[in-house]
Amino acid sequence: MINNIAKRRLLREIKETDFVLTELNLFLDTHPDHQEALKMFSTYEKKAERLKAEYQRLFGPLTPSANNNTTTWEWIQGPWPWEN
């Protein structure tokens, strides 16, 4: 149960960070030289990478393209969402 809660929390934080990156991306499309936004984008991009790496280390790949194992297809390992 605790593992499932931690998984959901981490996934929520990833989604929130990706949302911020999308918003910053849209802002930078119209304000390409805005230094504060550029710094924020870089900060959140690093945070997203760190969070995704942590999630994948603990719970497996987030997407099929994140499968780093060359001997087994990890994407299908573990319970499916409806099996939880």
Return the higher-pLDDT residue of 35 and 72: 35
Residue 46 to residues 52, 62, 75, 76, 82: CA-CA distances in angstroms? Answer: 10, 17, 24, 27, 32
Tell me the whole-structure pTM to 2 decimals. Answer: 0.77
Give residue 3's pLDDT.
Answer: 85
Mean predicted confidence (pLDDT) in 67-78: 62
List the domain boundaries for the chain: 2-83
* pLDDT above 80: residue 70: no
Contact residues for 1 (Cβ-Cβ < 8 A; gap 6+): none
- In the predicted structure, residue 76 carries a pLDDT above the cut 70: no
Distance CA 58, CA 24 (A): 28
As given in the structure block, the two tokens for residue 67 are 């499968």
How far is it between the farthest Cα atoms of the chain?
Answer: 48
- Between 16 and 57, name the one with better pLDDT: 16
Answer for the pair 21, 44: CB distance below 8 angstroms, yes or no: yes
pLDDT value at position 60? 82
